[in-house]
């Protein structure tokens, strides 16, 4: 048996699969309790589900049943719950970054402190509208030509992000971030508080209507991302700077925008197991939770592109038996057949490979259409 590992987040399945591959025995708390997660960890014994208003505070009570000597790995949705993480830290050590590091790196202006280097840019960030900015708006009508996004401080997966309209207020739970045109990408790292390894990078799919995603919602990844050596060096440098400045630990991801000149604009640091990690592992054969254990495996002959997509419900309805639609290597995050989903909820994740990025994307799109077709039949 492997070492026990507690995995906490909105969806634990991808991190649990990675943990099993790295030799851990997962004990999971999430909001979904999907069929494949239960199968992976050996039935319901290692899975606890929190729904509705009990999430995330109810996690503390459920942890009374968790292995006492287990470390904690964060999945998505808890980055902003620093007080909760501190309470968990009284009883358990974190395999991912500790609560204080999470608090610091997730602060809205954290990325504004990163030193400027060639190829690395910083987004303008606004947490309050000062008196001088109000005067500027009265005189010129806006902050200039820069467009801003209104983002929750506890943002996760691009949910609840909107365009900011000049003159609209900013409350204490939101901030403004400069919008940069370009390709959304994600870089994945493993670190120990001082050194950092760039494990890989992928293109992010954001707000794609074919997957039922809202305008800024994360809905998938395609990789490997082909970048120049200079860009790869910039990514590696960014990982080291973030690791040392904020004392990050374990696996983490950085969401960036690559503009049309090839510059990188970091927009968010996710100090946890992110959605892109699973795909990077699939492409490289590296165990992201223990990348120095000799797990790197060359995989010649693989398709040029690998992709995953989150399929969101375009309308409320019941989930079909997805194992009747896809093989088990094509679909993940599989709810129980017949489960009712609200409009906008994640139905499942689908996987595809292709000869190119576009070929992979088109296959993912076709798989999403199969999901929607099966839901209509119910």
Query: Number of structural domains, the chain?
Result: 4
Q: What is the pLDDT of residues 106-129, one digit of tens each?
A: 999 999 999 889 999 999 998 876
Domain annotation covers residue 116: no
Q: Write down the pLDDT at residue 140.
A: 45
**Token pair for 108:** 């809205």
Domain boundary at 242, 261, 296, which? Answer: 296
Containing domain of residue 362, as a range?
A: 300-378
Question: Whole-angstrom Cα distance, residue 268 to residue 363?
Answer: 29
Domain annotation covers residue 112: no
Q: Do 201 and 245 share a structural domain? A: yes
Question: Whole-angstrom Cα distance, residue 294 to residue 89?
Answer: 30
Q: How far is CA 263 from CA 67, 200, 339, in A?
A: 45, 17, 44
Q: Where does residue 304 fall: left (phi above 0), alpha (psi -120 to 50 degrees), or beta otherwise?
A: alpha
Q: Write down the pLDDT at residue 186.
A: 98
Closest by CA to 309, choosing from 225, 230, 209, is 209
Domain annotation covers residue 240: yes
Domain annotation covers residue 321: yes
Q: Do 292 and 204 share a structural domain? A: yes
Q: Do 190 and 244 share a structural domain? A: yes
Q: How far is CA 222 from CA 183, 201, 271, 302, in A?
A: 12, 9, 21, 14
Place of tokens 């910083």: 122
**Token pair for 100:** 């204080």
Place of tokens 């990025």: 357
pLDDT tens per residue across all 378 residues of the chain:
689 999 999 999 999 999 999 999 999 999 999 999 999 997 656 899 997 788 888 999 999 999 999 999 999 889 889 999 999 999 999 999 999 999 999 999 999 999 889 999 999 998 876 544 554 454 444 555 789 999 998 877 888 899 998 878 888 889 999 999 999 999 999 999 899 999 999 999 999 999 999 999 999 999 999 999 999 999 999 999 999 999 999 999 999 999 999 999 999 999 999 999 999 999 999 999 988 765 555 454 455 899 999 999 999 999 999 999 999 999 999 999 999 999 999 999 999 999 999 999 999 999 999 999 998 765
**Token pair for 1:** 């048996």
Closest by CA to 106, choosing from 18, 59, 173, 14, is 173
Domain boundary at 296, 321, 354, which? Answer: 296
β-strand 249-258 against 264-270: which pairing, if any?
Answer: antiparallel
Ramachandran angles phi, psi of 357, nearest 5°: -60, -50
Question: Whole-angstrom Cα distance, residue 307 to residue 290?
Answer: 23
Q: Write down the pLDDT at residue 124.
A: 92
- How confident is the prediction for the chain on average, in pLDDT? 90
Q: Write down the pLDDT at residue 35.
A: 95
**Token pair for 191:** 């670190």
Domain annotation covers residue 100: no
Question: Whole-angstrom Cα distance, residue 77 to residue 271?
Answer: 11
**Token pair for 91:** 């009883």
- Residues in Cβ contact with 109 at an 8 Å cutoff, skipping those fewer than 6 apart: 125, 127
Question: Whole-angstrom Cα distance, residue 369 to residue 77?
Answer: 27
Q: Do 258 and 197 share a structural domain? A: yes
Q: How far is CA 37 from CA 68, 193, 213, in A?
A: 22, 30, 23
Question: Whole-angstrom Cα distance, residue 15 to residue 76?
Answer: 10
Q: Do 292 and 188 share a structural domain? A: yes
Domain boundary at 267, 296, 325, which? Answer: 296
pTM above 0.85, yes or no: yes
Q: Do 237 and 212 share a structural domain? A: yes
The secondary structure of residue 120, as a DSSP letter, is B
Domain annotation covers residue 103: no
CB 105 within 8 A of CB 80: no
Q: Do 305 and 292 share a structural domain? A: no
Q: Residue 334, SS3?
A: coil
The CATH number of residue 233's host domain is 3.30.470.20
Domain annotation covers residue 114: no
CB 251 within 8 A of CB 272: yes
Question: Whole-angstrom Cα distance, residue 368 to residue 8?
Answer: 27
Q: Do 225 and 172 share a structural domain? A: no
Q: How far is CA 339 from CA 336, 351, 368, 373, in A?
A: 6, 22, 18, 16
Q: Do 317 and 369 share a structural domain? A: yes
Q: What is the pLDDT of residues 14-51, one digit of tens each?
A: 999 999 999 999 999 999 999 999 999 976 568 999 97
Long-range contacts made by residues 53-59, C-beta under 8 angstroms, separation at least 24? 55/10, 55/31, 56/81, 56/84, 57/84, 59/8, 59/29, 59/84, 59/88
């Amino acid at each position: 048996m492997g070492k026990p590992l507690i995995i906490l987040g909105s969806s634990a399945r991808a991190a649990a699969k990675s943990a099993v591959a790295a030799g851990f025995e997962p004990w999971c708390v999430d909001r979904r309790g999907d069929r494949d997660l239960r199968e992976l960890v050996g039935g319901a014994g290692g899975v606890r589900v929190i729904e509705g208003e009990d999430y995330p505070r109810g996690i503390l009570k459920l942890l009374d049943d968790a292995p006492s000597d287990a470390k904690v790995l964060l999945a998505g949705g808890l980055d902003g719950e620093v007080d909760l993480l501190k309470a968990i830290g009284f009883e358990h050590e974190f395999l991912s970054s500790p609560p204080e590091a999470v608090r610091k790196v997730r602060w809205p202006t954290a990325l504004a402190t990163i030193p400027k280097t060639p190829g690395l840019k910083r987004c303008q960030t606004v947490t309050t509208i000062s008196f001088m900015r109000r005067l500027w708006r009265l005189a010129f009508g806006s902050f200039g030509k820069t467009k801003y996004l209104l983002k929750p401080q506890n943002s996760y997966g691009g949910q609840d992000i909107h365009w900011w309209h000049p003159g609209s207020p900013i409350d204490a739970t939101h901030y403004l971030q400069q919008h940069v045109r370009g390709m959304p990408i994600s870089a994945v790292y493993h670190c120990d508080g001082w050194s950092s390894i760039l494990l890989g990078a992928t293109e992010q799919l954001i707000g794609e209507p074919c997957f039922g995603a809202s305008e800024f919602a994360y809905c998938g990844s395609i990789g490997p991302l082909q970048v120049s050596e200079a860009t790869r060096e910039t990514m590696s440098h960014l990982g080291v700077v973030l690791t040392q400045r904020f004392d990050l630990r374990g696996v983490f991801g950085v969401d960036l925008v690559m503009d049309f000149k090839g510059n990188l604009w970091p927009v968010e640091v996710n100090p946890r197991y992110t959605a892109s990690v699973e795909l990077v592992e699939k492409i490289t054969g590296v165990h992201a939770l223990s990348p120095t254990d000799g797990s790197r495996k060359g995989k010649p002959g693989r398709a040029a592109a690998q992709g995953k997509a989150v399929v969101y419900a375009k309308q409320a309805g019941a989930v079909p038996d997805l194992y009747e639609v896809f093989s088990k290597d094509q679909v993940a995050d599989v709810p129980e057949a017949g489960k009712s989903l609200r409009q906008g909820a994640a139905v499942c994740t689908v996987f595809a490979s292709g000869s190119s990025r576009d070929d992979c994307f088109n296959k993912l799109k076709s798989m999403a259409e199969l999901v929607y077709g099966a839901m209509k039949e119910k």
